[in-house]
Amino acid sequence: MNRNLVIAVFALFSCAASSQEKLSVHWEELTAEDFVKGIQRSGGTCMLPFGILEKHGPHLPLGTDLLDVRYAALHAAEQEYAIVFPEYYFGQIFEAKSQPGTIAYSSELQLELLQQTTEEMARNGCKKIIIVNGHGGNEHLLPYFAQSQLDQPHDYVVYVFDQRSPESGGPPKKTSMDMHAGESETSKMMIARPDTVHQDRANKESGADQHHQSLPEDVYTGIWWYARFPNHYSGDGSAATKDLGQFQMNWWISTLVKTIQSVKADDASLKLQNEFYEKARHPLDTRQ
């Protein structure tokens, strides 16, 4: 009798564990009931992988940033559970409007859509939102967006994760110029979506710096990228290898796993935000 009871209890726990393991990390794949379970399991931690639609040299797909960042985010969430928001590509890409396939939304719409998206995520229980940036052109937009969350009170925290490649380690690189659709990005796409990589076309256009401007490095102009890389290609994708891609993608995923864990453990940010909001309502009462 005791033996049968033990077997029954073991079977019950096995079923429960199996059910938990099968909970999808994809927002769009969850049922409404499972979404609630996902929010509970993740502690309200959700990820918003942020890509773009733009030319990536002559050999990579327009959605390279989106495909890469979602690959990394989804694999990280499988290791440290978090709900991953569906495909999002509404970012800053004005510098590529001269190339076919680019979708460049107005700056007003970019910010408004991102604000409403995070607010809707939070309304559905995502109180810790990690924006995982997959596009270099967002490197100013996203920190500004995170900073702008202090303008009005929110009951959630926005975190921006903007690391895509390690600074060192792994298989030796063959190129020094490697900013867009070059050795690293092409290598990662060999892991994320090898079926979309046309490496034999990588040398159809030049990815070399054209130096069409002569300005000091500390002077910024919006046309700087076009002045240097009018083909919207920086580097040499023909130098890419699967070994480099696997190393860099593994690093990206493991670093993101650690980030998810840190965000889950973060109890200070929301408390500090609330304290700040209250003081901002009555700045003259802030002790000097």
Structural tokens at position 195? 């079926």
Judge whether residue 246 has pLDDT over 60.
yes
Please check the confidence at residue 12 and state whether its pLDDT lies above 60.
no
Confidence of residue 21 (pLDDT cuts 50, 70, 90): low
- Residue 261: pLDDT band (50, 70, 90) is very high
Residue 70 falls within a domain, yes or no? yes
Compute the mean pLDDT over every residue in the chain, rounded to the nearest whole number. 94
Total-model pTM? 0.92
Give domain status of residue 72, yes or no: yes
Q: Is residue 119 classed exposed, middle or buried when 0-12, 13-18 and 19+ CB atoms within 10 A define those classes?
A: middle
Q: Tell me, what's the pLDDT at 167?
A: 84
Answer whether residue 136 is part of any domain: yes
Instruction: Please indicate, yes or no, if residue 7 is contained in any of the structural domains.
Output: no
Tokens in use for 282? 């009555």
Question: Count of CB atoms within 10 A of residue 8's CB?
Answer: 10
* DSSP class of 173: P
What pLDDT digit, counting tens, does each position of 37-96 carry? 999 999 999 999 999 999 999 999 999 999 999 999 999 999 999 999 999 999 999 999
CATH number at residue 122: 3.40.50.10310
Judge contact between 150 and 65, C-beta under 8 A: no
Cβ 233 vs Cβ 258: under 8 Å: no
Q: In what order do the strands lie in the sheet with 45-50?
A: 83-84, 45-50, 128-133, 157-161
Q: Which domain holds residue 88?
A: 24-169+249-285
Name the residue with higher pLDDT: 8 or 110: 110
Domain contains 197? no
The domain tally of the chain equals 1
In a domain, 234, yes or no: no
Closest CA to 63 of 101, 117, 27, 113: 101
Chain segment 125-169, per-residue pLDDT in tens? 999 999 999 999 999 999 999 999 999 999 999 999 998 889 888
Give strand pairing partners of 165.
none
Residue 210 covered by a domain: no
| 46 in Cβ contact with 86 (< 8 Å) | no
Question: Within a 10 A sphere around the Cβ of 76, how many other Cβ atoms?
Answer: 27
| pLDDT (0 to 100) of residue 7 | 53
**In sequence order, what are the beta bridge partners of 88?**
50
Establish if 263 belongs to a structural domain: yes
